[in-house]
């Protein structure tokens, strides 16, 4: 593998450090995927720049709250944070949240929260060093053709 970089000082930037950073790139890609795909941020629905900014801010707020829950689960149960499942945490929280709301302020809510933290800590993703995944889609999300001409031309083609 060849990595091109502008970090040319071998003392300040050893080859092993650059290689390790490149390896961490995959972790960053997974975290970005969590934000875009798992939180359904791959398509923003706002029509104005202000609404899109608010939408992005809310997604990052939700992301940070989920990560805080994961951090607490990892710290309390002695698990490595990077090995806990983001999607699994979201799924478990979605199941428990209505009951936390229902029993808010009672001992049952505290017990449910501790169970949630325990379940999150048990949901570990496998250690897969040097994993390489292809950047392709298995199938198109919808069976419709792409709109690759002006809409008026497409209407005429459909009618004529």
Average pLDDT over residues 12-30: 84
Question: Across the chain, what does the average pLDDT equal?
Answer: 88
> What is the spatial distance between Cα 120 and Cα 89, in angstroms, rounded to a whole number?
6
pTM of the complete model: 0.67
Average pLDDT over residues 94-108: 95
Phi, psi of 124 (to 5 degrees): -100, 140
Average pLDDT over residues 24-51: 84
* Residue-by-residue DSSP string for 48-65: SHHHHHHHHHHHHHHHHH
67 vs 5, higher pLDDT:
67
Domain spans in the chain, listed from the N-terminal domain onward: 44-127
Average pLDDT over residues 37-51: 89
């Amino acid at each position: 593998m060849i990595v091109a970089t502008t970090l040319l000082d071998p003392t300040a930037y050893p080859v092993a450090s650059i290689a390790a950073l490149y390896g961490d790139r995959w972790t960053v890609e997974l975290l970005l995927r969590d934000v875009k795909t798992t939180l359904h941020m791959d398509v923003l629905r706002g029509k104005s720049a202000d609404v899109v900014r608010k939408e992005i801010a809310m997604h990052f707020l939700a992301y940070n709250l989920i990560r805080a829950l994961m951090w607490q689960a990892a710290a309390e149960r002695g698990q490595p944070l990077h090995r806990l499942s983001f999607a699994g945490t979201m799924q478990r929280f979605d199941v428990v949240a209505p009951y936390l709301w229902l029993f808010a302020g009672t001992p049952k809510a505290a017990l449910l929260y501790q169970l949630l933290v325990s379940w999150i800590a048990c949901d570990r993703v496998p250690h897969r060093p040097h994993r390489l995944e292809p950047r392709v889609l298995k199938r198109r999300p919808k069976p419709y053709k792409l709109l690759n001409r002006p809409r008026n031309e497409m209407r005429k083609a459909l009618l004529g």
